[in-house]
Structure 1
């Protein structure tokens, strides 16, 4: 189940994001403490209120957050929806990220009328590429996308779903 983040989720958010693997692959600050978590939730609520981004907790039953999935309009083509995700260290290798990505993809296609649903993944991020494949995404022919992350320039490969069907 996916649900909105709540103030009571701050300890779970800290546990999830104060992790070297999350820090390695995401723009989330590291270390990630209570102040960072409150600021993160504040930005998430503001972005949601402005209709720019949905940041949802991944749960098994609507309770304890085990990860997060984000949905936002692609900055290169506003007809596309980009997803991002992360799962806390204690909850990895259970298929949570793949399931959350599949649920978010369905939502993007059927409720946000996405032309394409995208993931942007660094070439060396094998775990994220495995999630993409298991969720039915395939590498797209798009050019690499440069992004700034923690003062570094990274190049991201685009993975794609087209209206619920994998890209060829």
Structure 2
């Protein structure tokens, strides 16, 4: 599949390219991104280069992983530079049979773009594309995050993800087994919170999901 743009009122999603390498390298130095996602640590420029030249195009070509850079909205004419990266969002498909596949979506947001609702809008665009019969036609979207990553859970909550469990040792982070949350969203589910946000929890600003592993 050829990469394409997804656009909303406040974000434009387009494939990350070599022009974004320095910006991605800068963003991925952020301690919060390194704490909660699977990006390499320490993060070097070569990791960003491999991400945009190998991991991203392979996912699109094999049609099992679709990655977008989150940017400011607006039209970009051919040959014009894209706006700077504000975050990254992807959806990765399992190997289920046609019509029964699921996709796990993940994301991270640059420190200077947090607290503005950009990732919620971006993730909604990606999830809608994944679950739409005219898009990927997935049977479900899956969200996972390490326990304690309330910023990621807040985005999932706003999208209507039903958090269905806390699983001991579900994820591997920096070589260690850690407890994780898991939730799902089905095509017929409403894209809005399905339960109150716990009143005794203070959501952290920003959005840092488990992926993409740039």
Q: TM-score, normalised by structure 1?
A: 0.89
1:89-133 superposed Cα distances (whole Å, 9 cap, x missing partner):
111111111111110111001111111111101221111111111
Question: 1:38 aligns to what SS in structure 2?
Answer: helix
Match of 2:142 among 114, 118, 126: 118
C-alpha separation in 2, matches of 1:139 and 1:115: 17
Structure 1 pair 16/75, CA: closer, same or farther in 2 (3 Å)?
A: farther
Which structure 1 residue ranges, 5 or more long, are not aligned?
A: none
1:142 and 1:163 map into 2 onto residues whose CA distance is 23
Greater helix fraction, Structure 1 or Structure 2: 1
Q: Is 1:17–2:17 an aligned residue pair?
A: no
1:140 and 1:115 map into 2 onto residues whose CA distance is: 17
- Provide closer, same or farther for how the CA distance between residues 141 and 21 of structure 1 changes in structure 2, counting only shifts above 3 A: closer
Q: Tell me which residue corresponds to 1:2.
A: 13
Aligned equivalent of 1:46, options 58, 62, 78 = 58
Say which of 180, 187, 190 aligns to 1:156.
180
Q: Larger RCO: Structure 1 or Structure 2 (Cα < 8 Å, ≥ 6 residues apart)?
A: 2
Q: Output the aligned Cα RMSD.
A: 2.3
Cα shift at 1:142:
8.3
Q: Where does residue 73 of structure 1 map in the other structure?
A: 93
Q: TM-score, normalised by structure 2?
A: 0.71
Name whichever structure is richer in strand by fraction: 1
Question: Out of 50, 54, 69, which is 1:57 matched to?
Answer: 69
Distance across 1 between alignment mates of 2:145 and 2:96: 16
Instruction: Note if contact 2:169-2:177 (Cα within 8 Å) is conserved in structure 1.
Output: no
Q: Which has the larger radius of gyration?
A: 2
1 CA distance for matches of 2:15 and 2:178? 29
Q: Which runs of 5+ in 2 are unaligned?
A: 1-11, 74-81, 196-214
